[in-house]
Amino acid sequence: MARGDETAMVTGATSGLGLQFAEQLAQRGFGLALVARDDARLREVQADLISRYALPVEIIPADLVTHEGVSAVEARIAGRPLRVLVNNAGFGLKQPFDRATIDEEEKHLDIHVRTPMRLMHAALPAMLNRGTGSIINVASVSAFTPRGTYGAVKSWVVSLSRWANNQYRPRGVQVTAVCPGFVHTEFHQRLGASLDDIPSWMWLDAGAVVATALRDAGRGRAVSIPSLRYRALVSASRIVPSSLSQRFAARGR
């Protein structure tokens, strides 16, 4: 396979984990199809990656909480098969469930559940036909603790990925849920969340998270929890009462 012959699509590719996925997939020689809302920022990322890696980089400006946005991305997937799909785009909500509006909650559900489900459904048939493919769904360690609708949607992502990996891995398609803890990205800043009470040891580097995620996906793992400390926390959360893990998880947002 020549460099750039195979394409990796990354949603939410303009910052944080998505930008790192784009970078590290380009380092592995993949052509890229990058999705986010901010057209100008997508163009900057495109120009930068083309200049450094000399690979094809397409951009698809789309709002993934709208039907039109998701349809545009599905149309691109139908046009030419992907080798890798990274469902990464996402955001949190500023308010807890009782204070957020139901429209905000619905958009949050869409970006974390409806959109990755639709894009996975669009990408899978061609991957299965070719007998090769990798789907990486960015979840969170919040999937393992009661944490409002954010924890609930991320649990859905982990559950679907576990099932899909068992189902499709024998046919050449790995599905991996990536479950990071706190990562330095724009996620919390966009929320305007105070992070003063988050100890420094709980923060992860986006590049290290993505390197672990790609390594685990390459090994066909259904779930990737980057860093030993978060693997230990997830193991502990299975044995402590949920009221206690909920109090711990309530730090930050």
Ligand X SMILES: NC(=O)c1ccc[n+]([C@@H]2O[C@H](COP(=O)([O-])OP(=O)(O)OC[C@H]3O[C@@H](n4cnc5c(N)ncnc54)[C@H](OP(=O)(O)O)[C@@H]3O)[C@@H](O)[C@H]2O)c1
Question: Which stretches of the chain bind ligand X, using CB under 6 A?
Answer: 12-18, 36-38, 41, 63-65, 88-91, 111, 138, 140, 180, 182-183, 185-187, 190
Under a CB-based contact definition with an 8 Å cutoff, are residues 178 and 206 in contact?
no
Per DSSP, the three-state class of 223 is strand
Of 200, 113, 201, nearest in space to 150 by CA: 113
Pick between residue 10 and residue 173 the one whose CB is nearest to ligand X.
10
Nearer to ligand X, 53 or 230 (CB): 230
Q: How far is the CB of 17 from ligand X (least distance, A)?
A: 4
Helix (H, G, I), strand (E, B) or coil at 33: strand
Residue with nearest beta carbon to ligand X: 16
Choice between 9 and 64, CB closer to ligand X = 64
User: What per-residue string of b and e applies to 4-20 under the rule 16 or more CB within 10 Å gives b?
Assistant: bebbbbbbbbbbbbbbb
Give least dist CB 209 to ligand X, A. Answer: 8
E strand intervals along 119-224:
133-138, 173-178, 182-183, 203-204, 223-224
In angstroms, give the least distance from the CB of 98 to ligand X.
Answer: 21
Of the pair 37, 130, the CB lying nearest ligand X is at 37
CB closer to ligand X out of 140 and 165: 140
Nearer to ligand X, 3 or 114 (CB): 114
Bridge partner list, 36:
61
Q: How far is the CB of 113 from ligand X (least distance, A)?
A: 11
Q: Label each residue of 151-178 as H, E or C.
A: HHHHHHHHHHHHHHHHHHHHHCEEEEEE
| Minimum CB distance to ligand X, residue 5 (Å) | 26
User: How far apart are CB 132 and ligand X at their closest, in Å?
Assistant: 25
Phi, psi values for residue 3, rounded to 5°: -55, 130
